Every structure is written in C-alpha cells, then in structure tokens.
Amino acid sequence: MKLYDWLIAPNPRRVRMFLAEKGIEVEMEQAAGPRDMDLATWFLELDPRRRVPLLVLDDGTHVGEAMAICRYFDAQQPEPNLFGREPLAVALIEMWERESEINCLQAGGEHVRNSHPAFKDRALPGYSEPTPQIAQLAERGKMRYYEFLSRAEAQLERHAYLAGEQFSAADITAFCAVDFWQKFKLPLGEEHTRLKAWHERIGQRPSATA
C-alpha cells in the first residue's frame, strides 16, 4: 500500500500525526513538492478526487478522506486509543472531530481560499474546472473559524483536551488546522489563553513533527 502525502498541507498532516501516535509506518509518496501550490499532474490523473491524503491499497482500492484513512488503520490497530472506548467518549470525540474538520479546518480554508491571491480560481480544492473566489465566503469563513475557536476555548476551560480528558483524533484535526491557518493571518487572539496552552502542549508531542 502507499499513502500519497503533501508535506505542506494540513489534511495529510492529520494522517501523518495519527500514524505517528500509533507507531504505524506506511510507504509514502509526495503528490507535490513543498513549494508547489498545485498537486502534480500525474497525481491528478491517478485519482479523480484530486485531493490528498490518498491511501492506495495493494489491490488498487483508493481510500480518500483523512479520517477514513485513520479509521482503516485504527480498525487494524486500536491502540493507543484515539477514537474513544466508552459510548460517551466515542460520541464526544466524533462530535469534536467533525466540528474541528467542518468549522475549524474547512472554515479557515473557506476564508483563505476565497481571499488569498494564490487560490484565484481555485477556491475549492479537488475540482478540474475553475472555482472563482467569493469575497463574502472569505468573510463568512473567518467568522465561522473564530466562532469555533470561542467554543473550543470554553471547552478547554473545563477539559484538558477538546473531547474531554483524553487526547484524541479531534485534537489532531483541530491542531493541524490552527497550526496551518495561523500562517495565513488567522492567529489565536489574546482571549485564547487555553487554546494557546493546548496548542503548545500538543506541539510538544513527538507526533507533531510527523
């Protein structure tokens, strides 16, 4: 099997971090260079979804979506646990992981991809046709992003991690998002003291360098 990766991008990083936490090694290939703004043509021809991460199994099956790939490995090697054990923990991790993807990672992307000149006509990833930028979406994405950060800050006032006392897949998604979008002028603010401490703590985990 092979995992198609892109070192600079946040979604493939979610999978690399997850695998590092598990101690699982997988053959990887870069679908674009670290300075590229586009995936390589050979990769776009390989997979119609045109997005990374992508796991290709030995029988040729394509598994896309970062969390689907993580689930594939988790089903084979459940420990260390990152998706919860008890019913409530499973539900809360699922809730915060989805929130983190939709309202943090994608919301930041909605802002950046609809405003940064590098994404002109590429406001959505994965499309072969041009997807023009929409200024209102840039504003709305920023609002959604900071709304999520406020809720995460409140959650971290009561808990060590997003979904409770256990480091989980939800923290991986939110950490990769916050780490990436702050490079694009979406910084944590003065009011985000708990988030800053959480970000620093997770940044010290060995998996954060994956």
Ligand X SMILES: N[C@@H](CCC(=O)N[C@@H](CS)C(=O)NCC(=O)O)C(=O)O
Q: What is the distance between the alpha carbons of residues 163 and 28, in angstroms, rounded to a whole number?
A: 30
Contact assessment for residue 133 and residue 120, using Cβ atoms and an 8 Å cutoff: yes
Number of helices (H) and strands (E) in the chain: give both, helices first.
8, 4
Q: Tell which one of 3, 19, 56, 66 touches ligand X (CB under 6 A).
A: 66
Q: How far is the CB of 160 from ligand X (least distance, A)?
A: 25
Q: Judged by CB under 6 A, does residue 9 bind ligand X? A: yes
Contact assessment for residue 199 and residue 179, using Cβ atoms and an 8 Å cutoff: yes
Neighbours of 118 (CB within 10 A): 10
Q: Judged by CB under 6 A, does residue 179 bind ligand X? A: no
Residue span binding ligand X (CB under 6 A) among the ranges 45-53, 79-87, 182-190, 198-206: 45-53
Q: What is the distance between the alpha carbons of residues 84 and 76, in angstroms, rounded to a whole number?
A: 15
Residue at token pair 């002028």: 185
- Within 81-100, the residues that bind ligand X by CB under 6 A are none
Residue span binding ligand X (CB under 6 A) among the ranges 50-58, 84-92, 146-154, 185-193: 50-58
Q: Judged by CB under 6 A, does residue 125 bind ligand X? A: yes
Q: Judged by CB under 6 A, does residue 51 bind ligand X? A: yes
User: Which residues bind to ligand X, rule: CB under 6 A?
Assistant: 6, 9-11, 39, 51-53, 65-66, 125
